[in-house]
Amino acid sequence: MNTDAPLGRRAFLARIGLLGAAFGAGGMLTRSVLAPAADAAGNPVLPGLVNLLRPVLQALARDTMNGLTVFALPGPDKYSRAQGTYSKTPGALEAGATDFMLHSLDNFVPFPDALAQPIGMALVTGLADTGISLPGLELLPPELRTLDAALATMLHSDEVLPLSFPIAGLLNLLATQVNPLAVNGPFLSPFARLTYAEKAQVFELCEGPDADLVALLDVRFPEPLKASVSGLLKFVGGALIEFASFGAYSEFAVYDPKTRRLRKRPVGWQLTGYQPDGPVEGWNDFIGYYQGRQEVHD
């Protein structure tokens, strides 16, 4: 993210740091699937497994974020078509909103290990019985080809867990609750396979009473945090939609941080008719003092 971004935008991005707190306080792993620590010769195999898992999980996170961003701003892409909201006008994918989401979640928002472990543990438990598999892992043992096993393997490595992984896991977990048939389909992500109405149900689950979602994750929240879980979960659902919309209408995809100029007209500007004649350096009405005033008196 550009370090010269306005403070308002920086503060908006920082709000997403609370996403981790929604699941990071007191999660407990009740069912784990671990990769073997060593092969028959005693050589460690976990780093090799993680190297194979990382690009697959990244692909799953991107696919999930594609499904999320087009929910905020549909366009002429296959994800919008799959959710039943195809549009001829450019949408979130053309605006680079998915890259905005991934870059911000993985690089901008701090994600300490103290939060990563319980978040991942809770999601491993919740995803265990969904049947979500990961294609492209034929070289791994069969027990590591499901999303819960992949996340568990990452958790027991020394790798930093990007925030996009648990967010994608949460959305895909809820997607399989809304539509169990979403475990199979044309995309990697169950969430991306849902219709627009079904995606709305996912966020309804996320923003609804905390008991249902907490039960899915099998999380034991200690007091006094237990009383605040509902509000945190509601924040997750609302913030993800707001954040995806913000990315879709921002200049992120076309802003050159070196020149501090736009490479071309942003999609959001096209859709809203903003600055029809291009960027301006200021308005004549604001040159000098207003109406020639030199001072102000009470």
pLDDT of residue 204: 87
Query: Does some domain include residue 93?
Result: yes
pLDDT of residue 78: 97
Q: Which residues are CB-contacts of 269 (< 8 A; sequence separation ≥ 6)? A: 251, 275
Note down the domain range covering 39. Answer: 7-292
Query: Does some domain include residue 200?
Result: yes
Query: Does some domain include residue 209?
Result: yes
Q: Specify the number of domains making up the chain.
A: 1
Mean local confidence (pLDDT), 154-181: 82
Which of 207, 212, 208, 174 has its CA nearest to residue 193? 174
Give the per-residue SS3 of the chain: CCCCCCHHHHHHHHHCCHHHHHHHCCCCCCCCCCCCCECCCCCECHHHHHHHHHHHHHHHHHHHHHHHHHHHCCCCCHHHHHCCCCCCCCCCCCCCHHHHHHHHHHHHCCCCHHHHHHHHHHHHHHHCCCCCECCCCCCCCHHHCEHHHHHHHHHCCCCCCCCHHHHHHHHHHHHHHHCHHHHCCCCCCCHHHCCHHHHHHHHHHHHCCHHHHHHHHCCCCCCCHHHHHHHHHHHHHHHHHHHHHHHHCCCHHHEECCCCEECCCCHHHHHHCCCCCCCCCCCHHHCCCHHHCCCCCC
Q: Higher-confidence residue: 67 or 215?
A: 67
Give the model confidence (pLDDT) of 126-163 as tens digits: 787 788 887 766 666 777 778 888 877 777 776 667 77
Query: Does some domain include residue 267?
Result: yes
Mean local confidence (pLDDT), 179-193: 90
Q: Higher-confidence residue: 155 or 249?
A: 249
Q: Which residues are CB-contacts of 199 (< 8 A; sequence separation ≥ 6)? A: 67, 71, 83, 175, 191
Which of 216, 232, 235, 215 has its CA nearest to residue 224? 232
pLDDT of residue 40: 47
Query: Does some domain include residue 2?
Result: no
Query: Does some domain include residue 298?
Result: no
Query: How many Å apart are CA 93 and CA 81, to the nearest integer?
Result: 13
End-to-end CA distance of the chain: 44
Query: How many Å apart are CA 43 and CA 139, to the nearest integer?
Result: 17
Query: Does some domain include residue 223?
Result: yes
For 158-167, 182-191, 229-238, which range has the lowest pLDDT when averaged over its residues? 229-238
pLDDT of residue 129: 75
Query: Does some domain include residue 297?
Result: no
Mean local confidence (pLDDT), 269-281: 83
